[in-house]
Amino acid sequence: MNTMDQSIKEYCKILSLPVVAYQYQHEAEEAVKAKISYQEYLYKVLQQQIIVRIDNSVNTKIKKARFPFIATLEGYDFAYQPKVDEKLIRELATLSFLSQAKNIIFIGPPGVGKTHLAVAIGMKAVKARKRVLMYAAEDLINELTAYEVSNQLPAFLDTLSRIDLLIIDELGYLNLSRQSAALFFKLISKRYEKTSTIITSNKAFEEWGDIFADDVVAAAILDRLLHHCYPFFIQGKSYRLKEMMGKKKE
């Protein structure tokens, strides 16, 4: 019996089935007690392996997505921001917009939960096994510039064009140079009608000419983003101010 046990564990090691190796004896004992079929026993053992592997896969995708924090829709206080269309947000969380290569743009002042909503939708995409990547706008521009300097920009753009959901956070906090604006335009054009992008910004669309230092480039970027897009204009109160006031009351 020990020899068979060792052999089973060795086979599981070769096949990368650590959960099966750990659980198969216990499940076999339970199967005898419950008088279940061999097929049901095998199903239960393999199911446990799959659950662990899926969880590990999701955790890996979360790390690769580079979220600044973990957020969920359940953690967003829609009652505090009544002007946000909760029904539409929850519909978007079903991820149907990804198959249609549509975009989402959250516009509003600091603290109203734009990044929270972007991350929450990103988390839904990760759990659905989608490729997600999130950048602060400044970091993205710096990477685009670095790849251009090293003559690797086309390859980097190809990589980003295959990301199912690209999230660009805090666009507008820093104005860009014309060169940086041109790089951003190339990225948006590369992804246009192929994959989805979420952008958060503190600037209204009519101010994007200032962000990109060029009204023509800004118009071209907006044209591609808004062609298939769900724009949200959030003008509610700041969550940070709410938390600050709550702490003062304690």
For the segment 105-118, what is each residue's pLDDT rounded down to a tens digit?
Answer: 999 999 999 999 99
**Pair 28, 115 in one domain:** no
Question: For residue 247, what pLDDT is reported?
Answer: 47
Question: For residue 248, what pLDDT is reported?
Answer: 45
- For 143-164, how does the pLDDT look when each residue is reduced to its tens digit (9 = 90+)? 999 999 999 999 999 999 999 9
**Pair 44, 82 in one domain:** no
- CATH code where residue 81 lies: 3.40.50.300
Question: For residue 236, what pLDDT is reported?
Answer: 78
Does residue 246 or residue 14 have the better pLDDT? 14
Q: What is the DSSP letter of 166?
A: E
Among 46-50, 74-78, 214-218, 221-225, the least confident range: 46-50
The pLDDT of 98-126, averaged and rounded, is 96
Both tokens of 109, joined, read 């002042």
Residues 6 or more apart whose Cβ sits within 8 Å of residue 210: 175, 203
Q: Taking the complete model, does pTM exceed 0.85, yes or no?
A: no
**Pair 130, 39 in one domain:** no
The residue out of 11, 45, 65 marking a domain boundary is 65
Residue 20 near residue 46 (C-beta atoms within 8 A)? yes
Question: For residue 48, what pLDDT is reported?
Answer: 85
Domain that holds residue 207: 73-244
Residue 107 near residue 67 (C-beta atoms within 8 A)? no
**Pair 26, 125 in one domain:** no
Mean pLDDT of all residues belonging to the chain: 92
